[in-house]
């Protein structure tokens, strides 16, 4: 992995137009959120299981989900004004508002205030006094917008890949801005993503053990970064996660590009870890039919989008099982980042993903295909058409 470039004025000159201020605030908010998540994950791995809850659909939620949502909501509202900010996000306040959840709410409030106390270190003005319970609940509650075809709204997934998060594995913080149905900027925080792609395929427990045995001066085990892009810029950027008392990261982004590999025999494809809402057998068959021979890279969350954008993988495919509906917060940020890094993201019919129909990707043709290049993308689309009738999806 090459060193991160020193400050290059052209990087920031390119953003001095529409959405430059929004992108700046969004990157800082996601940096803060990643710092918060790292602290909470460390607590989870020390067996503090009370920090994890189950939702009505049996999916997991942690205090990091609520805390990140409250933090990002507060930062966006303070930066742009409550009347100018609408947010679509995954979590609600129903569980936290119950009398029996008072201890959980206290943990969330404490976590939010710890994060906001560090806001000046990230270039954000924090609150004068710590937020109260009602203010934290209100910040979470404000993320209740339902999206739509017109106007501007933010899309937030506070902790994408919660199962990976609680296991100490990969997860992401995803924030995007949608205007008139189009994603205009995206920010993706990947705190556990190793800067050396070779370590992506190693089990997270092995990675943690080796990391502890490595001298702190070594960069071989460095991990964590933020990816971001703005529609139409033709570039995506990456900057490392650096301890919050070091502002060097503000001046050290570097461009990222998708892989130049077009030969399926040399390509790597990634897919979700869990089988609950996707078919591994179908994606494996598709990969084999187009000539992909490498083992799939299975990672949690929108880290898969990061892998393609960074050139660590060439293909991401997801075909949901019948009855599952894709949510816009699982794809908005990653889509624009891959596109601006030079890749292609569509549904299985070759149509752009539609973020104008509320919280779901309505009208999605069978599944989602993200590729580094047009040729690979076209091959997979044709393979889907040829084999769909036998997919049982």
* pLDDT, tens digit (0-9, with 9 covering 90-100), for 141-170: 999 999 999 999 999 999 999 888 888 889
Q: Is 169 annotated as a binding residue?
A: no
Q: Is pLDDT larger for residue 177 or for residue 194?
A: 177
Q: Is 78 annotated as a binding residue?
A: no
**Alpha carbon distances (Å) from 159 to 38, 51, 174, 301:** 11, 14, 8, 9
Mean pLDDT calculated for residue range 273-296:
80
In 3D, which of 269, 302, 306 has the Cα closest to residue 284? 269
- Per-residue pLDDT of 59-88, as tens digits, reads 457 899 999 999 999 999 999 999 999 999
> Which residue has tokens 């003005």?
125
pLDDT value at residue 216: 46
CATH topology for 264-387 is D-Maltodextrin-Binding Protein; domain 2 (3.40.190)
In CATH terms, are 9-256 and 264-387 the same topology? no
β-pairing, 182-194 vs 223-230, is antiparallel
In 3D, which of 200, 339, 153 has the Cα closest to residue 256? 339
162 tagged catalytic: yes
Catalytic residue among 15, 62, 111, 162: 162
In 3D, which of 283, 298, 239, 238 has the Cα closest to residue 384? 283
The C-alpha atoms of residue 67 and residue 137 are separated, in whole angstroms, by 10
Q: Is 389 annotated as a binding residue?
A: no
The C-alpha atoms of residue 165 and residue 227 are separated, in whole angstroms, by 19
| pLDDT over threshold 80, residue 292 | yes
| 342-348-351 Cα angle (round to 5) | 65
β-pairing, 315-318 vs 344-347, is unpaired
Band (pLDDT 50/70/90 cuts) for residue 323 is: confident
Q: Where are the domains of the chain?
A: 9-256, 264-387
Please state, for a pLDDT cut of 70, what percent of the chain lies above it. 81
SS3 assignment, position 204: helix
SS3 assignment, position 238: strand
The C-alpha atoms of residue 320 and residue 184 are separated, in whole angstroms, by 26
Task: State the chain's mean pLDDT as an integer.
Answer: 84
The two structure tokens encoding residue 231: 């529609």
β-pairing, 60-62 vs 52-54, is antiparallel
Q: How many residues does the chain have?
A: 393
The C-alpha atoms of residue 248 and residue 105 are separated, in whole angstroms, by 34
Q: Is 222 annotated as a binding residue?
A: no
| pLDDT over threshold 70, residue 17 | no
Q: How many CB atoms lie within 10 A of CB 6?
A: 9
CATH number of the domain at 9-256, out of 3.30.540.10, 3.40.50.920, 3.30.420.40, 3.20.20.110? 3.30.540.10
The C-alpha atoms of residue 165 and residue 141 are separated, in whole angstroms, by 23
| pLDDT over threshold 80, residue 337 | yes
| pLDDT over threshold 70, residue 204 | no
Q: pTM of the full predicted structure? A: 0.88
Catalytic residue among 65, 169, 312, 347: 65
65 tagged catalytic: yes
- Per-residue pLDDT of 338-373, as tens digits, reads 999 999 999 999 999 999 999 999 999 989 999 999
| pLDDT over threshold 90, residue 48 | no
The C-alpha atoms of residue 165 and residue 37 are separated, in whole angstroms, by 9
Q: Pseudo-torsion of CA 239, 243, 247, 248, nearest 10°?
A: -50
- Per-residue pLDDT of 239-260, as tens digits, reads 888 654 454 445 578 999 999 9
Q: How many CB atoms lie within 10 A of CB 144?
A: 12
């Amino acid at each position: 992995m090459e060193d991160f470039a020193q400050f290059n004025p052209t990087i920031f000159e390119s953003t001095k137009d529409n959405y430059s201020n929004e992108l700046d605030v969004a990157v800082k908010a996601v940096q803060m959120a990643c710092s918060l998540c790292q602290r909470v994950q460390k607590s989870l791995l020390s067996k503090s299981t009370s920090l994890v809850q189950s939702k009505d659909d049996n999916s997991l939620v942690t205090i990091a989900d609520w805390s990140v949502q409250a933090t990002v909501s507060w930062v966006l509202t303070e930066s742009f004004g409550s009347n100018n900010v609408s947010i679509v996000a995954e979590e609600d306040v129903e569980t936290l508002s119950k009398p029996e959840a008072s201890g959980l709410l206290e943990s969330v409030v404490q976590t939010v205030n710890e994060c906001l106390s560090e806001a000046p270190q990230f270039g954000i003005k924090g609150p004068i006094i710590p937020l109260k319970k009602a203010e934290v609940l209100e910040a979470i509650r404000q993320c209740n917008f339902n999206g739509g075809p017109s106007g501007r709204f933010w899309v937030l997934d506070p902790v994408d890949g919660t199962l990976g998060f609680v296991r100490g594995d990969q997860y992401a913080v995803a924030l995007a801005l949608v205007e008139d149905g189009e994603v205009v900027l995206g920010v993706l925080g990947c705190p556990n993503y190793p800067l050396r792609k070779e370590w992506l395929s190693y089990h997270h427990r092995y990675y943690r053990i080796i990391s502890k045995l490595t001298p702190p001066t070594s960069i071989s085990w460095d991990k964590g970064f933020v990816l971001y892009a703005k529609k139409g810029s033709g570039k995506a950027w990456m900057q490392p996660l650096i301890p919050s008392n070091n502002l060097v990261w503000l001046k050290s982004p570097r461009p990222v590009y998708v892989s130049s590999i077009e030969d399926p025999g040399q390509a790597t494809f990634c897919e979700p870890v869990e089988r609950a809402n996707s078919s591994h057998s179908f994606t494996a068959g598709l990969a084999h039919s187009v000539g992909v021979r490498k083992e799939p890279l299975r990672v949690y969350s929108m880290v898969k989008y990061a892998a393609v954008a960074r050139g660590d993988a060439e293909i991401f495919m997801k075909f949901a099982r019948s009855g599952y509906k894709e949510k816009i917060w699982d794809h908005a940020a990653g889509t624009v980042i891959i596109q601006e890094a030079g890749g292609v993201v569509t549904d299985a019919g070759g149509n752009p993903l539609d973020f104008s129909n509320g919280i779901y990707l309505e009208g999605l043709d069978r599944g989602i295909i993200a590729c580094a290049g047009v040729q690979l993308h076209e091959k997979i689309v044709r393979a889907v058409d040829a084999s769909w009738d036998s997919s049982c999806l």
